[in-house]
Amino acid sequence: MSQGETRRQPAWAELAFVTALAAGVLAFLVEARGVSLDPQNLLLLQPTAWLVLGLWAVLAIGCLTRRRPADAPPRESTADLLRILAMVAAFGLFTAGLEQVGYDIAICAFVLVALLIGGERHWAALLLFPPLFTLAVIEGFRLLIPYPFPTTLL
Amino acid sequence: MIDTVAFGAAVAMLAGSLDAWIWVIPGLLIGLVFGALPGISVSMAMALVLPATLYMEFLPAIIFLTSVYTGAGFGGSIPAVLINIPGTSSAVATTFDGYPMAWQGKHNEALGAALFASCIGVLLSYVILLVLVQPMAEVVLRIGPYEMAAIGIWGMVLLGSIGASSVAKGLFAAGLGVLFGMVGMNTAGYMRGDMGITWLLDGIPTIPAMVGLLAASQLFALVNAKFIVEAESERSISLRRILAGGMLVLKNPVTLLRGSAIGVFVGAVPGIGSSIANLLSYGETRRNARDPESFGKGDVRGVIAAESANSSSEGGSMATMLALGIPGGGATAILLAAFAMHNVIGGPRFMEESRDVVYAIILSNFAQAAILVVVGTLFVYGASTIVRLPLRYLIPCVLVMSAMGAFAIEGSIAGPITLFVFAVLGWLLSRYGFPVAAVVVGLLLGRLIETELLRAWQLAGGDVWYVLNYPWALGILGLMVVSLALSVRRDLRKRRARVARA
């Protein structure tokens, strides 16, 4: 489907993302209307939700009719994208694990994994930095904040 | 407007008391350190040192606390510039241009500009406070829900499409932000969008969401980079360049004065203060600029506008606290607590009976602003070393600190969970060209606008024409429409000129 120096290339990933957000907004609107149709409930919520859903249609058309230069380079390599996704996943696991395995273990494990994802291969750094950083963070925050947080070793 | 007898007594009080001075530098340093830590807010820093003031005399205690306030007010801009983390909502607009400047290797200039704009902002706000404390407090009392809603809408209109690659994307992001701001129970008691999660009834935790959207999402995108500043030659830390950044503030006096005026006025309004002042000031500066397209890409005027406004809001909130005894936010609430600890009650009677003490507090803040230039410059010099740290170390450290900061704010796992969810959302939004800043602005202003609109609706009993009884609100909206019309006309002229040239 080439046309001059550009070719039509629908942005499927972006379309899926925008559609997921719009679906979330629609669900929010339906739930809010289910709670009450009183203007005190929907005064700002309903018009804003309709605006966002209207804009979804505009953006979806834009995604479907997107044109890119024929020789445009890819945004990033697959390896680069996998590294980002690995960091996102590691951070997600870290967040989920904070209360499960204790803040100390979760921090230490996350820092170690994140260093590996970032490309650190020096064994001394991998061995020393995560536990020392964990110790500093746990003790520092114990001094600073009034709430207790669960730890396993420290 | 200045009571010269009380003013003289205040000067004598400060000149004759060493105690009033020895706590200024420690207070500023504590404020700078705590303000620079992501997740530790100004009020938290002040709350931590509050017990220590119990054993001090009243004036040194208040001076110590206001020093922490002043130091933390600027401290928040350091992570905002260097790692895109607004430690508090008052530093959000600083990230818009401060972080792009750091990316370009202009971190020295950005921090210097932020420091000088902060110091001059504090100074100007206290000058205004000295002269206008009483009339200002009376104006603040006239601000009701209509006026507040108008201010909120003004902020949204100014910043709704900030940094967007298209108007539709900007509005979509801003709308999403507003909807996020409305999750949970509204002031009329309706519970929406909480998905059965108890802690969402209070709404989405704002600071963790903001840090996730702006900072953590950015850190994900940096996983494949080596340093924040890629060029090694640009990673230098230079006192000369920090001071050169400070000089840029003096070259943009209109931006500085506009930011300070907005900061003082909005800061005086209880409940909103610096979190909106910095956004309004940034938006107004961008709107008035000849080249608004340069904002969001590392324009120093953006940093000056944001920092002068958030710092000067300190003077504004002090005006409300001293004259009316109403705390504008967490920091002034802690100051009022310190008043109570010393058996002093802030408010009109305190203003009347202890005007010399009020003047002494104001004068001491002039000195704090001047001392902050020196202490802050040295602090910034040390903090800038962050750009020399490899990102493979910086990313996990900042993510962990942000998660712990989010926990510290919420006191539960709700903070880190919110941080993660919004970090992923922010990363995806910026990946597909949506302006993350617009979501943040919507999140900050959405709840405020809804709350004030609801109050206005309840006052009017559903009659939309009731707004005609509120000339101030109409004035603000009228001003907004006129300024928008002027902007559109200017843009159209520019476009025509470009077409004619082509």
Nearest-CA distance A1 → chain B (Å): 23
Sign of the torsion angle spanned by Cα atoms B331, B332, B336, B342: positive
Tell me whether residues B400 and A133 touch, CB distance under 8 A: yes
Confidence of residue A93 (pLDDT cuts 50, 70, 90): very high
Mean per-residue pLDDT for A125-148? 90
Amino acid letter, residue B174? A
Query: A2 pLDDT exceeds 60?
Result: no
Tell me whether residues A32 and B169 touch, CB distance under 8 A: no
Nearest-CA distance A29 → chain B (Å): 9
Query: In this structure, how many other beta carbons lie within 10 angstroms of the beta carbon of residue A141?
Result: 20
Chain B contact for A114, CB < 8 A? yes
| Rounded (10°) CA dihedral B48, B52, B57, B61 | -20
Please state the pTM of the whole predicted model. Answer: 0.78
DSSP string over B192-226: ES-TT-GGGGG-S-HHHHHHIIIIIHHHHHTTT-S
Chain B residues closer than 8 Å to A87 by CB: 220, 223, 395
For B234, which DSSP code?
A: G
Nearest-CA distance A2 → chain B (Å): 23
Length of chain A: 154
Amino acid letter, residue B259? G
Chain B contact for A119, CB < 8 A? yes
Is residue A112 helix, strand or coil?
helix
- Percent residues over pLDDT 90 in chain A: 68
Matching residue, tokens 């499927």: A12
Q: Is A3 exposed, middle or buried (0-12, 13-18, 19+ CB in 10 A)?
A: exposed
Q: How far apart are CA A46 and CA A37, in angstroms?
A: 10
Give me the interface pTM, i.e. the ipTM.
Answer: 0.93
Q: Directed axis angle between helix B391-410 and helix A123-144, to 10°?
A: 20
Q: Which residue of chain A has the CA closest to B174?
A: A52
The structure tokens listed for B477 are: 């909206």
DSSP string over B248-306: HHHT-HHHHHHHHHHHHHHHTSTTTTHHHHHHHHHHHHHHHSS-GGGTTSS-HHHHHHH
Q: Please, what is the end-to-end C-alpha distance for chain B in angstroms?
A: 58
Query: A1 pLDDT exceeds 50?
Result: no
- Residue B303 is predicted with a pLDDT of 94
Chain B residues closer than 8 Å to A31 by CB: 192-193
Return per-residue pLDDT of chain B as tens, 502 residues: 677 888 888 888 888 878 888 889 999 998 888 887 766 667 777 877 887 887 888 889 999 999 998 898 888 888 888 888 776 667 888 988 998 998 888 888 999 999 999 999 989 988 888 887 667 666 766 777 888 788 778 777 766 556 556 778 888 998 999 999 999 998 888 999 888 888 899 899 888 898 888 877 878 888 888 877 666 766 777 888 888 999 999 999 999 999 999 888 888 776 666 677 888 889 889 888 888 888 888 899 999 999 999 888 888 888 878 877 777 677 887 888 888 888 887 777 787 788 888 888 888 988 999 999 999 998 888 877 777 788 899 899 989 988 998 888 788 899 999 999 999 999 999 889 888 888 888 887 888 889 888 988 888 887 878 878 888 888 878 877 776 677 667 667 767 777 777 6
Matching residue, tokens 């669900």: A27
Chain centroid offset of residue B385 CA:
24
Chain B residues closer than 8 Å to A133 by CB: 397, 400
Q: How far apart are CA B294 and CA B296, in angstroms?
A: 6
Nearest-CA distance B411 → chain A (Å): 6
Q: How many CA atoms lie within 13 A of A12 on its CB side?
A: 1
**CB pairs < 8 Å spanning A and B:** 161
Mean per-residue pLDDT for A138-152? 86
Closest CA to A149 of B399, B202, B400: B400
